[in-house]
Amino acid sequence: MAETPPLRAHTVAVHAGRPPHDIDQPLNVPITMASTYVAGGAKEYGRYANDSWTAFEETLGALEGGRALAFASGMAAIVAVLDLVSDSTVIAARHSYQGTVGMLGDLEARGRLRARLVDISDTAAVTAAIDDETALVWIESPTNPAMEVADIAAIAEAAHAAGVRVVVDNTFATPILQRPLELGADIVVHSATKYLAGHSDLLMGAVVVADPELYDVLKGRRDLTGAVPGAFEAWLALRGLRTLPLRVERASANAAELARRLSDHPALTEVRYPGLGAMVAIVVAGGADPADLVVRSTEVWTHATSLGGVESTFERRRRWRTEATTIPEGLIRLSVGIEDVEDLWRDLAGALDRIAG
Ligand code: PLP
């Protein structure tokens, strides 16, 4: 008999993490508001288990091709993974999310690890940096907000040959566009706050791994640290995850069209769009002041940090003191939403025309 083909992402996103198809079962896992459970079972306490986390984890795990663990935020997930390292070197993308770079710096200052920042799009430089002291290669692809893209498969092959683990922050691409575990990565991390949840209404993170032993170690760390999400956040994040493929497709199509139209705008010196996803970086000629004027001059686009919501937001990244100084002062990061692309274009082009004219 022919084997049943595996379900595809649109179907997995909708169907995974649901109760069985039995009479009177609800279609959605109900929210369990409980800090503890009657003793003697598998759950025991609210820091160890919650059915809404499990439903979210089953769905994300199925999309990424591994086993997921939900965390209180993306940073909580990142810290749980960095906690695997002690007294060795982490090679990381120089333009990783500023919180990741900040955490690496903090751990280095306290003598917990050594951080070596590299251009993650330069595979030869990344692999050349791996030595006997390296424990982890930290990839972000595309990077936030430089939009560099890494060759995950090539880096993973070189890292594994040296016995080094590879982590990919898959927040920008999502499992709809990039499945790092299939490309050879050992660990995927997410700020689920962004595309996975998708509605700018909660903070959550996730770690996904294929290796059961690594899963147990990370689950053990989460049990101890208590960096767990609330049940309602997990329920909302799963509700968002149901439409992830649709949102990513629509937002990516909008982003590709905007990047194309922006490419010859006279107010810009650069448009960075790696050809996937819904994040675009534009560099405004003249630096911080004209860029600040642009982000104050729109009606549809909202000036706000964070990204990955249904609504389009943008931000001049160097307004943060902690952003890498290699990011241009005039760089505005666009998180393109699912609105009508003509409305997005008219609003953004109007703001850019103001400073170009
Ligand atoms: N990773 C990336 C790529 C991010 O953009 C962010 C937040 O902006 C994080 C991790 C941290 O996630 P959170 O804000 O959910 O802690």
Q: What ranges do the domains of the chain cover?
A: 9-241, 244-356
Q: What is the value of pTM for the model shown?
A: 0.98
Q: Which residues are catalytic?
A: 47, 97, 169, 194
Mean pLDDT calculated for residue range 30-52 = 98
Name the H helices within 110-151: 123-129
- State the number of CA atoms in the 13 A half-sphere of 43 facing the CB: 14
Residue whose CA is at the smallest distance from ligand 1 atom 2: 97
Structure confidence by residue, pLDDT tens digits, 260-271? 999 999 999 999
Mean pLDDT calculated for residue range 38-63 = 98
Share of the chain above pLDDT 70, in %: 99
Asked whether the predicted pLDDT for residue 357 surpasses 80, the reply is no
Whole-number Cα distances in Å, 248 to 120, 244, 245, 284, 337: 24, 6, 5, 26, 9
Q: Are 32 and 178 in contact (CB under 8 A)?
A: no
Phi, psi angle pair for 196, to nearest 5°: -60, -50
Give strand ranges (E) for the chain. Answer: 67-71, 89-93, 114-118, 134-140, 165-169, 187-191, 205-209, 268-272, 279-284, 302-303, 313-316, 331-335
Mean pLDDT calculated for residue range 314-321 = 97
Atom of ligand 1 nearest to the CA of 144: 3
Residue whose CA is at the smallest distance from ligand 1 atom 14: 74
Q: Would you state the pLDDT for residue 206?
A: 99
Structure confidence by residue, pLDDT tens digits, 62-112? 999 999 999 999 999 999 999 999 999 999 999 999 999 999 999 999 999
Residue whose CA is at the smallest distance from ligand 1 atom 8: 306
What is the CATH code of the structural domain delimited by 9-241?
A: 3.40.640.10
Residue 248 and residue 264: Cα distance in Å, rounded? Answer: 25
Ligand 1 pocket: which of 73, 96, 97 to mutate (most atoms within 8 A of CB): 97
Smallest CA-to-CA distance from 194 within 119, 48, 304, 92 is with 304
Mean pLDDT calculated for residue range 282-287 = 98
Q: What is the distance in A from the centroid of ligand 1 to the CA of 202?
A: 12
Phi, psi angle pair for 50, to nearest 5°: -155, 135
The response to whether residue 68 sits with its C-beta less than 6 Å from ligand 1 reads no
Mean pLDDT calculated for residue range 184-205 = 98
Atom of ligand 1 nearest to the CA of 203: 15
Query: Between 341-356 and 244-262, two packed helices, what is the crossing angle to 10 degrees?
Result: 30
Enter the DSSP assignment of 276.
S
Ligand 1 pocket: which of 75, 96, 141 to mutate (most atoms within 8 A of CB): 75
Q: Are 69 and 219 in contact (CB under 8 A)?
A: yes
Name the H helices within 144-243: 152-161, 174-177, 212-225, 231-241
Mean pLDDT calculated for residue range 319-326 = 95
Q: Are 169 and 138 in contact (CB under 8 A)?
A: yes
The response to whether residue 74 sits with its C-beta less than 6 Å from ligand 1 reads yes
The response to whether residue 175 sits with its C-beta less than 6 Å from ligand 1 reads no
Q: What is the distance in A from the centroid of ligand 1 to the CA of 97?
A: 7
Mean pLDDT calculated for residue range 278-282 = 98
The response to whether residue 141 sits with its C-beta less than 6 Å from ligand 1 reads no
Provide the token pair at 172. Answer: 């920008």
Q: Would you state the pLDDT for residue 1?
A: 67
Whole-number Cα distances in Å, 273 to 192, 254, 276, 282, 357: 22, 12, 7, 9, 25
User: DSSP states of 227-270 as a string?
Assistant: -PPPHHHHHHHHHHHTTHHHHHHHHHHHHHHHHHHHTT-TTEEE
Q: What is the distance in A from the centroid of ligand 1 to the CA of 203?
A: 9
CATH topology classification for 244-356: Aspartate Aminotransferase, domain 1 (3.90.1150)
Q: What is the distance in A from the centroid of ligand 1 to the CA of 77?
A: 10
The response to whether residue 205 sits with its C-beta less than 6 Å from ligand 1 reads yes
Residue whose CA is at the smallest distance from ligand 1 atom 12: 74
Asked whether the predicted pLDDT for residue 321 surpasses 70, the reply is yes
Atom of ligand 1 nearest to the CA of 306: 8
